[in-house]
Every structure is written in C-alpha cells, then in structure tokens.
C-alpha cells in the first residue's frame, strides 16, 4: 500500500513538474517561433540563446506591483486566476503518459489514475476552466473585463459542444471512455486519425478555441477590450492567467496526441525492441515528440492566421462545426453498421 502511494505521489509530482516546465518553455518557444516565422531572432540575451528568458519573465512577474482594484470583489478577484491555474493543472491526471513499467512483479502504469470515464472527466474539468475566466472578469468590476469574460465564456461554451460531439463519434468508434484503453487500442498504425479524420479536424479547431488562442483569441483585443478579462490583473495573477493558457496548450496537445495520434504507441519499434520497460520509456518519449509537434503546430497557426470577427466565430461554431460534428456521428454510425455487416 505504501509503495503504491509513493509511486502515485512521485507520478503526481512528476506530471505537475513536467507540465509547469513545458508550459514555461512554451512561452520561450512561442517567442522564438514567432520571431523565426517573422524573420527575426527572438529573445537571445538571457543565457545562451535566451534559454533563461522564462526565468527572467517569471521573476519580472513576481516583482511587479500587485494591484487589486478597490471596487473589485477581492476574494473572487483572487479566486479567478487560481481557478484557471488549478483546472489547467488538473487535466494531466487522466492522460496516459506512457505504457506500463514492470519492476519485480509489480506493474507501474505511467498514468496517475485510469478512471473509466476519463474523457468525461476531461470535458468536465475543461468546462470548469471557463469559471476561472468568468469569475476573474466579473470580479474586476470593469466593463472591459466583463465583456472580455463574456466573450471568452460564450466562445468556450459554444466550442465545447462541437468538441463533445466530435468526441462522441470517437467514442462510438473505440467503444470506451477510458483514455488508457483508447491509447492502447491504437497500436501500430491504427491511429484514430485514420478512422476519424473529420472528427479530428473538428476537435483541433475546438481545441484552438478552448485554449483561447489565435485565430480564436477574441477575449483579448486591444482595440475594443484592452486586455479582455485580465485587464485589471497585474503581477503574478496576470502571470497565472497567461501561464494557464500555456498549460492548457500542453494538455490539449497531449489529449490530441492520445485521442487521435496513437498516444504512446510507436509503429514498427515493437519489432526491434522487446524489453517491455524500454518500450514503455520509448513510448513516453514518442508521446512527447508528438506533443511537442502539436505545441509547435499551435504556435505555427497562431503566427500564420489572422483572427476571426466575433460573428464569424459564432457562425463557425454553431452553424458549421456542430452540424458537421452531428454529420460525423451519423457517418460513423453508418460505417460501423456496414462494417459490422461485412465481418
């Protein structure tokens, strides 16, 4: 029992630390990639190649003056960014970060907990994330913040629907809600992207909208909303909001890789490597490779596409993505029926 607890504790701390470090260096990567896509060099002063830039940013954020507006609701004002950060960190729990390590006669799956409704948990936590933004925007007692928060929450709620529908088609195909089972099913090249291309497209568009990133970064808008929901925030509370976005991006990339790109499965490698422990570790490495590609993809898109107008955003969500997702469900059903008949 104690060994079990210690192993889980180590896993929790590791996942937490990795999320934070990856998110930290995502801020660096974002600036570097943005710069490279624009023919610039990006931060290169703090340490070699600017590698210490995130630390410098963090120190800067901590040192800034902390301002809580007098007219704000103090407790909710503090709760907002905490909630955003909290929910961002919570999602890493159900993601299978790798295969199973076997030490002695004990099995150690590299996943904090494998709840059998992992996907529902994921969607649930993501929807709580809206509250962080909503509460923060409302508690600021500022028109810009409130409008930004309304925009953010309506956007996130709209796209959650399409996202849920895209996942329903995936669940119909896999027949399970457990992320570990879904990942385990996609051995070799049986990645879900092959069976659910439309679903993947819908899912990734929604993932962009859920993380509030370009081209769906409407909640922040200098011309109309100043900073959006975090207009009134300063110091590390602002840092939390910004940081939560990067953790969300990390988690989204992990979820995309797990749901549609085979998770920790590697095609071909199983033929050459037979030690299950080595395979498990390699699997984690492979998962992270996919994940980093998707983080890069997030940034690549951000620095390529212009943003939507708000009505276009809503039209895309309600009039295109949701019907498309419904069609995808119907299509999946028909194909499954026909496939069943063929076997």
Q: Which residues bind another protein (CB under 8 A)?
A: 33, 35-41, 44, 300-301, 303-305
Cis geometry, peptide bond prior to residue 225 (ω within 30 degrees of 0): no
Contact between residue 291 and residue 253 where contact means Cβ atoms under 8 Å apart? yes
φ and ψ at 194, to 5 degrees? Answer: -65, -35
Closest CA to 238 of 75, 72, 57: 57
Nearer to another protein, 16 or 293 (CB): 293
List, in sequence order, every residue forming a beta bridge with 226; answer none if it has no partner.
Answer: 221
Q: How far is CA 159 from CA 93, 305, 316, in A?
A: 23, 19, 9
Nearer to another protein, 32 or 237 (CB): 32
Query: Least distance to another protein from the beta carbon of 203, Å?
Result: 15
Query: Least distance to another protein from the beta carbon of 304, Å?
Result: 4
Nearer to another protein, 116 or 312 (CB): 312
Nearer to another protein, 61 or 301 (CB): 301
Query: Least distance to another protein from the beta carbon of 96, Å?
Result: 30
108-134 per-residue burial string, b: 16 or more CB within 10 A, e: under 16: bbbbbeebeebbebbeebbbebbebbb
Query: Least distance to another protein from the beta carbon of 197, Å?
Result: 12
Q: State both tokens at 225.
A: 């909303």
Contacts 24+ apart (CB under 8 A), 220-226: 220/148, 221/148, 224/147, 225/144, 225/147, 225/148, 225/151, 226/144
Q: What is 71-129 written as a DSSP string?
A: TS-HHHHHHHHHHHHHHHHHGGGSS--S-EEEETTEEEESSS---TTHHHHHHHHHHHH
Nearer to another protein, 41 or 285 (CB): 41
Nearer to another protein, 11 or 324 (CB): 324
Query: Least distance to another protein from the beta carbon of 213, Å?
Result: 15
Nearer to another protein, 35 or 123 (CB): 35
Query: Least distance to another protein from the beta carbon of 41, Å?
Result: 4
Query: Least distance to another protein from the beta carbon of 300, Å?
Result: 6
Closest CA to 196 of 284, 252, 256: 256
Nearer to another protein, 303 or 310 (CB): 303
Q: State both tokens at 229.
A: 């929901």
Query: Least distance to another protein from the beta carbon of 200, Å?
Result: 13
């Amino acid at each position: 029992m104690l060994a079990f607890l210690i192993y889980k504790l180590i896993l929790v701390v590791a996942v937490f630390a990795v999320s934070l470090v990856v998110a930290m260096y995502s801020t660096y990567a974002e600036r570097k990639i943005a710069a490279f896509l624009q023919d610039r060099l990006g931060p290169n002063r703090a340490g070699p190649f600017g590698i210490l830039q995130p630390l410098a940013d963090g120190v800067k954020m901590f040192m800034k003056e902390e301002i809580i507006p007098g007219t704000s609701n103090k407790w909710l004002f503090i709760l907002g960014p905490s909630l955003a950060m909290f929910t961002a960190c919570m999602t890493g729990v159900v993601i299978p970060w790798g295969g199973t390590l076997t030490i002695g006669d004990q099995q150690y799956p590299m996943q904090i907990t494998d709840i059998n409704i992992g996907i529902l948990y994921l969607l649930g936590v993501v929807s709580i994330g809206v509250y962080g933004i909503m509460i923060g925007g409302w508690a600021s007692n500022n028109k810009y913040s409130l409008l930004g928060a309304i925009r953010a929450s309506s956007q996130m709620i709209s796209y959650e629907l399409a996202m849920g529908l895209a996942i329903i088609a995936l669940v119909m195909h896999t027949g399970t809600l457990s992320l570990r089972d879904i990942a385990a099913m996609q051995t070799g090249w049986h990645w879900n992207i092959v069976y659910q291309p439309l679903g993947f497209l819908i899912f990734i568009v929604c993932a962009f909208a859920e993380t509030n990133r370009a081209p769906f970064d409407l909640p922040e808008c200098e011309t109309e909303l100043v900073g959006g929901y975090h207009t009134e925030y300063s110091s590390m509370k602002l840092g939390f909001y910004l940081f939560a976005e990067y953790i969300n991006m990390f988690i989204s990339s992990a979820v995309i890789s797990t749901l549609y790109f085979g998770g920790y499965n590697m095609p071909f490698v199983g033929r050459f490597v037979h030690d299950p422990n080595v395979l498990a570790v390699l699997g984690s490495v492979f998962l992270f490779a996919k994940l980093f590609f998707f983080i890069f993809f997030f940034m690549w898109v951000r620095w390529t596409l212009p943003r939507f107008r708000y009505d276009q955003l809503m039209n895309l969500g309600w009039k295109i993505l949701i019907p498309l997702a419904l069609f995808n469900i119907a299509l999946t059903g028909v194909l499954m029926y026909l496939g069943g008949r063929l076997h």
